[in-house]
Amino acid sequence: MARSYSLKQVLFGTDPGSVPCHNATAINMISEQQIDQIADALATEGYIILDHVLPESLLALLVTQAIAPEVNHYKAAGVGRDQNLQQIAAIRKDEISWIDNTNAAGKDYLAWMECLRRELNRRLFIGIFDYECHYAHYAPGDYYKTHLDAFKGNTNRIVTTVLYLNADWTSDNGGELVMYAPESNNVLQKILPEFGRLVIFLSDKFPHEVLPANKHRYSIAGWFRVNNSSSTRVDPA
């Protein structure tokens, strides 16, 4: 039986239709132990860093897709959302390509995250209803200044995921993700973007930034979202 946790920071509701991911294909499987570890960390610390939790075969597919220019049409990333989206190089210089299920890599990654979504709802009762994600490419010297992932007055992104796709990455290459303690300038974690590393954290709790690297850096940034639609406001899909 799945364990239950109290996640006071983000208590939004339940997902009574959730079921375990036992029917997933082998490439998309995530173990009960791994899900328990993630849920426990989110409920206590608010974040977790995992190495090689995704299957190697899936990671290989994602790397191939991320670096194939004829497949992915990267565009300069912006700040804000929808009509407020702006490209501000002083804040971020990366480029992104949104992921969908039109190829094997995207389909399998989204299926893996769907399993995680359902199981986190069963354990944490946080009411996340979907997941969105994109590849991110940082050329040498690119950066993303300190920011929060949850927009002011818009809490539909509640859990952030970052998966790194960089083989043979060392500290000499730079490009770390720096996480700060909530409401402070104290460095909580300085995380190398090593291949297969997955970082998961509460979107509105941890300011973070991406430091410049000296070689090309690839990752997948994603967000589990709740539905804040109402009679006067519709959340973007």
Give the pTM.
Answer: 0.83
The CA distance from 88 to 85, in Å, is 9
Query: Could you tell me which residues come within 8 angstroms of residue 88 by beta carbon, excluding any fewer than 6 positions away?
Result: 78, 79
CB 108 within 8 A of CB 163: no
Q: What domains sit in the chain, N to C, each tagged with a CATH number?
A: 19-225 (2.60.120.620)
Largest CA distance in the chain: 52
- Render pLDDT for 42-72 as a digit per residue (tens, 0 to 9): 999 999 999 999 999 999 999 999 998 666 6
Query: Could you tell me which residues come within 8 angstroms of residue 145 by beta carbon, excluding any fewer than 6 positions away?
Result: 90, 91, 92, 209
The CA distance from 187 to 181, in Å, is 6
Taking only the tens of pLDDT, the chain with its 237 residues reads: 334 333 433 333 334 333 445 445 545 578 899 999 999 999 999 999 999 999 999 999 999 999 986 666 888 876 555 444 455 667 888 999 999 999 999 999 999 999 999 999 999 999 999 999 999 999 999 999 999 988 655 668 999 999 999 999 999 999 999 999 998 889 999 999 999 999 999 999 999 999 999 999 999 999 999 986 533 333 333
